[in-house]
Chain A
Amino acid sequence: MKDTLRAAVLSLLFLFTIVGAWHLATLPKDTGASSAAADDEYAKLMGKGPGAKKSEGFPTPAQMGQAIVANLAQPFYDNGPNDKGIGIQLGHSLARVGAGYLIACLVAIPLGFLIGMSPLLYKALDPFIQVLKPISPLAWMPLALYTIKDSSVSGVFVIFICSVWPMLINTAYGVGAVRRDWLNVARTLEVKSVRRAFQVILPAAAPTILTGMRISIGIAWLVIVAAEMLVGGTGIGYFVWNEWNNLNLTNVLFAILMIGLVGMVLDFMFARLQKMVTYVE
């Protein structure tokens, strides 16, 4: 408990140091605006007048704070295709990740089960898995766009293809590594194969399967940003790209922060799930 408190204090200290350094680094520099009254109009035209707000450059922590408050105050507004609230953008991204990930689960876990149970199938499919696994999911994008012809569905496909491998490999490994003793117990008790799959193999392999699922959700959340930058339209990745085109670094930074937070929540959820199915031998 005491250690937790200390760690929290130290964390806050780090945060203040970082924000402080950021603040000092982004202090408005004296641009040495000329004092000549005749130049005032020119300066105003150039956006450098005393009353003009600097809109470009790296935001200060204060500007950042204002942007966070402003964005979070209205997370779900929708002012047309290029101006939507952060909540809507994140929702689109999460929906794509959810769909692709769910399909990946439905494919990878049963298939991993089969591969794990059958050494023959394992050997036969291993070369395919080894070749397909290291391919960057974005490399599939042109193929997906060509065949699916829908940018949003292509994004889902990319998420599917990147989440499927860790789950498949971990499920196959977990199922294949179930202790012989437990299988023998099931055999001596004349347990039918469906019951054996669900009551012996599945719980025995669950921690390994969940590890694969946790790795997959992490990768999926990494990939969605890049995928949405490519396909455009909606989503947090598109938001980042759009704000970059607007030269609004404040919003880019805000999006980065949100991506990190959502990723953390996703990982935390899977960590909890993992803990639920983990057993001590």
Chain B
Amino acid sequence: MTSFLQIQRLSKVWPGTGGKPDSVVFENVNFGVEKGEFVCIIGHSGCGKTTILNVIAGLEQPTSGVVVMDGREVAAPSLDRGVVFQGHALMPWLTVMKNIAFGVKSRWPEWSGEKVRSHCQTFIDLVGLTGAEHKKPSELSGGMKQRVGIARAFAIQPKMLLLDEPFGALDALTRGTIQDELLKIVQATHQTVFMITHDVDEAILLADKILLMSNGPRAVIAEIVENTLPRNRTRNTIFNEPQYYKIRNHLVDFLVNRSKLYQKGEALQGYDPLSPPVIRPGLEPDRPSATVVPLAPVPPSAHTTERRVAS
């Protein structure tokens, strides 16, 4: 079965200037996203996460490889893919309502003004901004602005949603609230989502599948971690699940110790970037190493054996 969204052998190379060698940002990026799935991608800065998202959005062209969504190749931006930008990207001269209506009118140009208005209102209510319809973005807090960005993306009812670190600039409390709301909306609408994050807890709360990217340059998808927590998890109950810590430790261990091991290519035996190992932390009781964050870097050999078990 082919996935709803397929990313096939994607790579991005910046040509070297002034005799410098070309710089490969990432290569052999290969994964799929199923319909209704929430996929997060985690990795250190500079591994090309945003470039991957932009390629999926159609805003950037990859050096090689293709993105196929719903059986069709992605060549340009489309209303089928809603994007929530890192810096909210609201138009400051428009009110909340008009910012959202801007997208709605693009999607359904034939709609009457009243229909556009009521459609926008639904999504304003959905993200909890009722009452702020006629405010300009400058009158809103950072969290509220990001909610408008989310409402704008949801309101065009895209086939999939792309979120580029949407909560990166928010304080922890606001972030938590909006994460809950996003989770609620996504669970209710069964929206397919691809999201970039730096935040391990955010990924575990929201994602069904977490892609771990190794460090750039020459970044690859190192592992695909399946979230083994039940789908009805919430931010308040997630900490009671023993599995939560197993997943969390696995992710932190990757980011702290293992993400830098992939650059050389030959360091890991049996690793194929085109089909990275799928790991389900917490469901393999015979793999104690995944549940403990080692204080000192673990030699690569220890991981290669672990990886074989995993895949």
In the bound complex, how far is the Cα of B136 from the Cα of A190, in angstroms?
23
| Residue from B57, B93, B156 in contact with A279 in the complex, judged by beta carbons closer than 8 Å | B93
Task: Report yes or no: A185 in contact with B89, Cβ–Cβ below 8 A.
Answer: yes
- Name the one of B57, B58, B92 contacting A280, with C-beta atoms under 8 angstroms: B92
Cβ proximity bits B81-94 to A, threshold 8 Å, 1 near / 0 not: 11101010101110
Question: Cβ of B3 < 8 Å from any Cβ of A?
Answer: no
A199: Cβ under 8 A from any B Cβ: yes
Report the contact-size class of chain B (Cβ under 8 Å from the partner). Answer: 20 to 34
B89 touches A184 (CB 8 A): yes
B175 → A minimal CB distance (Å): 20
A176-191 vs B, Cβ < 8 Å mask (1 yes, 0 no): 0001011011011111
Known: A181-B85, A279-B136. A189 touches B92 (CB 8 A): no
State the total of A-B contacts with C-beta under 8 angstroms: 58
Residue of A nearest to B139 (CB): A280
Given A188-B57, A189-B102: A182 touches B79 (CB 8 Å cut-off):
no
Chain B residues contacting A179 (CB-CB under 8 Å) are 89
Q: Name the contact of B156 in the complex, choosing from A182, A189, A206 (C-beta under 8 A).
A: A189
Q: Cβ of A188 and Cβ of B59 under 8 Å apart?
A: yes
Q: Known contacts being A185-B85, A280-B138, is A190 close to B106, with CB within 8 Å?
A: yes
Q: Are B89 and A181 in contact (CB under 8 A)?
A: yes
B106 touches A281 (CB 8 A): no
Give the distance to chain B from A61, nearest Cβ to Cβ, in Å: 49
Q: Choose from B78, B91, B92, B93 the contact partner of A190 (Cβ within 8 Å).
A: B78
Q: Considering the complex, which residues of chain B in the window 116-140 have a beta carbon less than 8 Å from any beta carbon of chain A? A: 136-138
Instruction: Tell me the nearest residue of chain B to A277, going by C-beta.
Output: B93
Q: Which residues of A contact B281 (CB under 8 A)?
A: none
How far is the CB of A118 from the nearest CB of chain B, in Å? 20
Question: Could you say which residues of chain A place their CB within 8 Å of the CB of B103?
Answer: 189
Does A49 sit within 8 A of B, measured CB to CB? no
Complex interface bits, B55-99 against A, C-beta within 8 A gives 1, otherwise 0 = 001110000000000000000111101110101010111000000
Assembled-state Cα–Cα distance A179/B92 (Å): 11
Do A188 and B82 touch across chains, with their CB atoms under 8 A apart? yes
Instruction: Give the CA-CA distance A182 to B93 in the complex, in Å.
Output: 12
> What is the minimal beta-carbon distance from A23 to any residue of chain B, in angstroms?
51
Interface of A: prevailing SS: helix
- Please pick, from A184, A185, A188, A279, the residue contacting B81 in the complex, using a CB distance under 8 A: A188
Counting chain A CB atoms within 10 Å of each CB, the highest count among B59, B79, B92 belongs to: B92
Partner of A191, one of B59, B89, B106, B137: B106
Shortest CB distance A212–B (Å): 18
Q: In the complex, which residues of chain A have a beta carbon less than 8 angstroms from the beta carbon of B79?
A: 188-190
Interface residues of A in 198-225 (CB under 8 A from B): 199-200, 203-204, 206
Known: A184-B83, A190-B79. A280 touches B136 (CB 8 A): yes
Q: Do the beta carbons of B102 and A199 come within 8 Å of each other?
A: yes
CB distance from A235 to the nearest CB of B (A): 39
Chain A minimum-CB-distance residue to B82 = A188
- Give the contacting residue for B89; candidates A182, A199, A203, A280; CB below 8 A: A182
The smallest beta-carbon distance between B285 and chain A, in angstroms, is 45
- Closest chain-B Cβ to A106's Cβ sits at a distance in Å of 24
A260-281 residues with Cβ-Cβ distance < 8 A to B are 277, 279-281
* Nearest CB in chain B: distance from A187 CB, A: 4
Measured CA separation A190–B58 after assembly (Å): 11
Query: Cα distance A48–B89 when bound, in Å?
Result: 78
Nearest CB of chain A from residue B111's CB, rounded to whole Å:
14
Instruction: State A185–B78 Cα separation when bound (angstroms).
Output: 11
In the complex, chain B residues whose CB is within 8 Å of the CB of A182:
89, 91
- Taking the closest CB of chain A, its distance from the CB of B123, in whole angstroms, is 15
26 A–B pairs (Cβ distance < 8 Å), ordered by A = A179-B89, A181-B89, A184-B77, A184-B83, A184-B89, A185-B83, A185-B85, A187-B58, A187-B59, A187-B76, A188-B78, A188-B79, A188-B82, A189-B77, A189-B103, A190-B77, A190-B106, A191-B106, A199-B102, A203-B91, A203-B93, A206-B93, A277-B93, A279-B92, A279-B93, A280-B136
Apart from A189-B103, A280-B92, what 10 extra A-B contacts exist at CB < 8 Å? A181-B87, A185-B83, A185-B91, A188-B57, A191-B106, A199-B102, A200-B91, A203-B93, A204-B91, A277-B93
